[in-house]
Amino acid sequence: MIESQETLPCAPAPLARTQSNGKATEDRGGPCPRSGQRLLAVPVLPDGSPDWEHRLIGVLQNLNAKGAVVELDSPADLPVTELVLVLPDPGDGMARCAGMEVRAALRLGPERLEVWGPFGGLADALLRPENLAPRFRPEPLAFAPAFPESVLQKWAEVGILRPVLADRVLLCPRCHGLPSFRPGCPNCGGVHVASDQFIHHFTCAHVGLVESFLGQEEVICPKCRTRRLVVGSDYEYLTGPPRCLECHWTGAELEHVAQCLRCGLRFPGSQALLQDLTGYHVERLAPLAG
Ligand SMILES: [Zn+2]
Ligand SMILES: [Zn+2]
Ligand SMILES: [Zn+2]
């Protein structure tokens, strides 16, 4: 049993009532962190990187869906105003994180600093799932997360973010930009390709271009001269292999021809660069999850 006087509600009634969608801020990420729980506070540098050397140990004093009060073991004042709080979940032991903007600090003793503030700012943005997934960015015409890869890698190195395979994409082999694809000629890459239509006369087995079978208002076989052929019972249509109208290539199949939207390179789709897109995952603190 959990001692009720020590347990803070995840979403106190006034907060739950403020939800515009009528839903209470339930904790979907496991049991709610409790006051008195030990935590790790990692300062966030202005570029979003973790200031791992200056990480602090502390104790959670108070927490709800909007913010937290934390007591830190710190002889010095905080050099930054953004913290990523890391709390081991009392249920499964898994670390859960929240990003806090420090709005106020109070020195309690030579080693004790109390800080409080809302969840939000750069530290919170760093942990949001939508910022950790690689997305197509119109500016570089390429896939990238919302934060520089080098910044997210630093959080992964200290174990707070976990790299995950988000997707695989085909890219331009020259500039790694995004290509478009179309079916085209494997020889010259052109799209002016056509296929001839043939007629196959069943009885004599002759196959010829449709035009060679066309008589006056009737279909006549040019080989055996049989007249008034009926589609289905006497003959069938056949589609010939694709033929390039530009370079006169003909073959069994067209190929996906790629053109880079950034540098304009046109290349066979089979030469596209297959690249893994890495995203990152973090377990967010219960009141913020979902
Ligand atoms: Zn061609
Ligand atoms: Zn015939
Ligand atoms: Zn390119």
The pLDDT assigned to 13 comes to 32
**What pLDDT sits at residue 17?**
32
Domain boundaries, the chain: 5-126, 193-240
Per-chain residues with Cβ under 5 A from ion ligand 1:
185, 187-188, 190, 244, 246-247, 249
pLDDT at 31 (0 to 100): 58
C-alpha of residue 235 to centroid of ligand 2, in Å: 9
Q: Which ligand is nearest to the CA of 245?
A: 1
Of all ligands present, the nearest one to the C-alpha of 255 is: 1
Helix (H, G, I), strand (E, B) or coil at 113: strand
Ligand nearest to the CA of 225: 2
Identify residues whose C-beta is under 5 A from ligand 2, the ion: 201, 204, 206, 221, 223-224
Centre of ligand 2 to C-alpha 240, Å, is 19
pLDDT of residue 76: 86
- pLDDT for residue 89: 80
Give me the pLDDT at residue 46, please: 92
**pTM, to two decimals:** 0.67
> At CB < 8 A and 24+ separation, what contacts does 236-240 make?
236/199, 236/200, 236/202, 237/197, 237/198, 237/199, 237/200, 237/210, 238/197, 238/198, 238/199, 238/200, 238/207, 239/195, 239/196, 239/197, 239/198, 240/195, 240/196, 240/197, 240/198
For the domain made up of 5-126, give the CATH fold.
Answer: Thrombin, subunit H (2.40.10)
Ligand 2 centroid–CA 238 distance in Å is: 15
Across the chain, which has 290 residues, the per-10-residue mean pLDDT values are 36 34 41 81 95 94 91 86 90 88 93 94 93 87 88 95 95 94 94 94 96 93 95 96 94 94 94 95 75
Sheet with strand 207-209: strands edge to edge? 207-209, 193-201, 235-244
Distance CA(62)–CA(14), nearest Å, equals: 16
CA 17-7-36 angle, to 5 degrees, is: 120
What pLDDT is stored for residue 287 in this prediction?
A: 64
